[in-house]
Amino acid sequence: MNDMFNKGRLVLWSFVALIFVVLPFIFSGGFSLSMLSQMGIMIIFVLSYNMLLGQTGLLSFGHAVYFGLGAFMTAHAINFVEAGTLGLPISLMPLIGGLTGLCFGLLLGFVTTRRPGTPFAMISLGIAEMVAASALMFTTFFGGEGGIVTNRTAGGAVWGVSYGPQIQVYYLIAVWCFLSMVLMFAITRTPLGRIANAVRDNPERAQFVGYNPTRVRWLMMSLAGFFAGIGGALATINYEIITAEALGLMASGNVVLMAFIGGIGQFWGPMIGAVLVTLLQSALSNFTQAWLLYFGLLFLLIILYSPGGISNLISIHVPVWRAGLIKKLLPSYGYALLTGFVTLLGVVGGIEMLYRGTLFGGINDGTTWVIAALLICVGGFFLKRAIGSVRRVWEDMSPDLARWV
Amino acid sequence: MEFFLITLLNSLSYGLLLFMLSSGLTLIFSMMGVLNFAHASFYMLGAYFAYQTGLVVGFWPALFLAPLLVGIVGAVTERYGLRKVHQFGHVAELLFTFGLAYVIEEIVHIIWGRAPVDYRIPESLDFTLFTLYNTQYPAYRAFMMIVSVGMLISLFLVLTKTRIGMIVQASLTHPHMVQALGHNVPRVFMLVFAGGCALAGLAGVLGGNLFITEPGMAFAVGSIVFVVVVLGGMGSLVGAFIASLLIGAIQTFSVALDLSFIDLMTALGVTIDPDSGWYGGLSITISQTAPVLPYLLMVLMLIVRPRGLMGTRES
């Protein structure tokens, strides 16, 4: 725990806290404020997911179950507060969500964490389907198609905070997000977090050292459920409605995309994914119906060419920066960016034209198609050469870099 | 009796369809260690290809063309996608197919739109085969069963009796040795992947017009196929076969049974007050629980026997 509180890290965390405080002053519009709130929720969610994936090596396709169940329990708790049968301030509601996630993590994790790897992935998917299907069955708890509606101002104002205005909700989310981030980071530094890494890398050896890999996975799963539940509770408070979609497969798939686009190798990687994906989702879905396709393609590109995600791309440049060699890279990067942009323009143009009219019996204006095809061909040709030159520069630098890694 | 027989026949045809899907998945998994998340997407592609080619050449040529096309798509996927991510490990491969499922669904949106397409049972098969008591049994379901069983027998024969089947089987367990003997193992992998996808495509050709051909069909069937594979034991074809029939039966029978716990209590002479708090929970009928049952069965299996029905290893 000692290095947790060293000076550099303290400065870093204070800086993060400062960002949380300052952000709504910079982006003060209603739309950006609700987007910031959503990002905060997603950061908690995706970091809790990375406790499973990045730290314990459990690829789950059903993490939204804990998020959703936490959210539903919170919705009911808030409704109890409104009915006067429960006296708990809204600010502490995330605890309800977290405990719900923890309980279900303990319960479901006991069954699912027995087998790691691919079986775990399939089983988590099955569990997610089961919970999603039951959500439509037990309508009293899950509210059926319409979901459960709540009122976040229930229980009246505490110390002048009523949670009526969005800015108050943002700060609630910010506080919980910051707390969860610090806690989740701290967990990576505990013996449990370290052993989780060992179980991820070599379960057999961890077992020989005297740890039970199944139990370690189970504990990490429960803890991840706890934080996911916190995220769910905040989602309930933020949106004031929760439907069965929140625990469905789409939501679970979404968090997988976020984690991988951001990169699971670093603690902060998934956060980049959460911010970027939330931003793209709200921004792109306003412009195009095909945003899910772009997402899928981005995801495939990352899996194919940079399996470490965006955070890995950033961190491999740190030694380059330190060695002062970044200048060498810039020309080839500029070349690649330019050609990449041209290719992208062609691809996007083609996809959008396809989307506007479906392929069979849709629009068929020859010239626009020729332009798109030309952009893709020319851009693609030069992009390939640009990537080659980037690779050459990297190879040239590698002897100089070796000292800085 | 009438209900039972008809439902049994229906469950059999559904179960065989499931096996066509899960056998491809199992083959790919046991050979390459890759869990193909996009498997159900290939099933969907099969249905759409059959619809599109059927418009031009009719149903019967489409029955052969569509799986072939799906197989080609599968081969390309393996050659230019999976083989590239192979170096990053199994998780990367799995995620690649996961992303592919998204992309395929969106491409289907682009080409055929979001609404279901009008892919119909061909007229030459659209008649009543026989009438059992008072229920008519459609000929198409029988045709489906014949094709599935024929497919499975030929798959079995190819795998066990032909030279290429021997090489495939040998590559399952001893890829390095097979490579050393001068066979092109990566090409065998590509072949198996394409074959598995073609099987899924065939299931799509047969299932697409019986059920409904729409962009959501992949997600609807995808997780059921996973349940089948887990239940049967990962990598076991026999297990997948038993589990497919089992899941087929459970799903078909439970949808048709409109009984609840309340009915059971009434039959036993116990009456429950409709106003009591338990009434809502107890009045859920079996048909309402139908979507949950396969998953529940899977969870129970994991608790009792984690390796599945016929699985040989724990993980």
DSSP line for A276-333: HHHHHHHHHHHH-TTHHHHHHHHHHHHHHH-TTHHHHHHHTHHHHHHTT-HHHHHHHH
Quick check: A112 and B85 CB within 8 A? no
* Segment A112-141, tens digit of pLDDT: 888 777 778 878 888 888 888 888 777 777
Angle at B312 between CA B310 and CA B314, to 5 degrees: 110
pLDDT given for residue B315 in this prediction: 42
pLDDT given for residue A1 in this prediction: 45
List C-alpha distances in Å: A118 to A115, A353, A386, B163, B299.
8, 38, 37, 31, 16
Quick check: A297 and B94 CB within 8 A? no
pLDDT at A403 over 70: no
- Comparing CB atoms, the residue among A118, A295, A354 nearest residue B110 is A354
pLDDT given for residue A176 in this prediction: 92
The residue among A58, A104, A118 with the most chain B CBs within 10 A of its CB, best to mutate, is: A118
Report the Cα B194 to chain-centroid distance in Å. 16
Split at pLDDT 50, 70, 90, the class of B314 is very low
Contacts 24+ apart (CB under 8 A), A201-206: A201/A57, A203/A116
Residue B146 placed within a domain: yes
pLDDT given for residue A312 in this prediction: 83
Quick check: A295 and B102 CB within 8 A? yes
Task: Give CA–CA dist A92/A74, Å, rounded.
Answer: 10
Two tokens at B104?
């395929």
Quick check: B106 and A121 CB within 8 A? no
- What mean pLDDT comes out for the span B173-185? 86
- Comparing CB atoms, the residue among A126, A307, A360 nearest residue B230 is A126
Helix (H), strand (E) at residue B131: strand B128-132
The residue range of the domain holding B88 is: 2-215
Q: With contact defined as beta carbons under 8 Å apart, do A102 and A226 qualify?
A: yes
Instruction: Count other Cβ atoms within 10 Å, centred on residue A182.
Output: 14
Residue B160 placed within a domain: yes
Helix (H), strand (E) at residue B135: strand B135-138
Residue B79 placed within a domain: yes
Quick check: A123 and B98 CB within 8 A? no
What is the count of structural domains for chain B? 1
Residue B282 placed within a domain: no
Residues of chain B with Cβ-Cβ distance to A299 below 8 Å are: 95, 99, 102
Split at pLDDT 50, 70, 90, the class of A404 is low
Task: Give CA–CA dist B68/A381, Å, rounded.
Answer: 31
Task: Give CA–CA dist B218/B220, Å, rounded.
Answer: 5
Residue B221 placed within a domain: no
Asked if the C-beta of A137 comes within 8 angstroms of chain B's C-beta atoms, the answer is yes
Asked if the C-beta of A293 comes within 8 angstroms of chain B's C-beta atoms, the answer is yes
Residue B266 placed within a domain: no
Residue B123 placed within a domain: yes
SS3 B38: coil
- Comparing CB atoms, the residue among A122, A137, A299 nearest residue B284 is A137
State what percent of residues in chain B have pLDDT above 90: 12
Q: Domain limits of chain A?
A: 2-248, 316-401
Residue B193 placed within a domain: yes
Distance (Å) from the alpha carbon of A52 to chain B's nearest alpha carbon: 14
Quick check: A112 and B219 CB within 8 A? no
Q: What is the DSSP letter of A47?
A: H
pTM higher than the cut 0.80: yes
A83 burial (CB, 10 Å; 0-12 / 13-18 / 19+) is exposed
Residues of chain B with Cβ-Cβ distance to A300 below 8 Å are: 81, 96, 99-100, 103
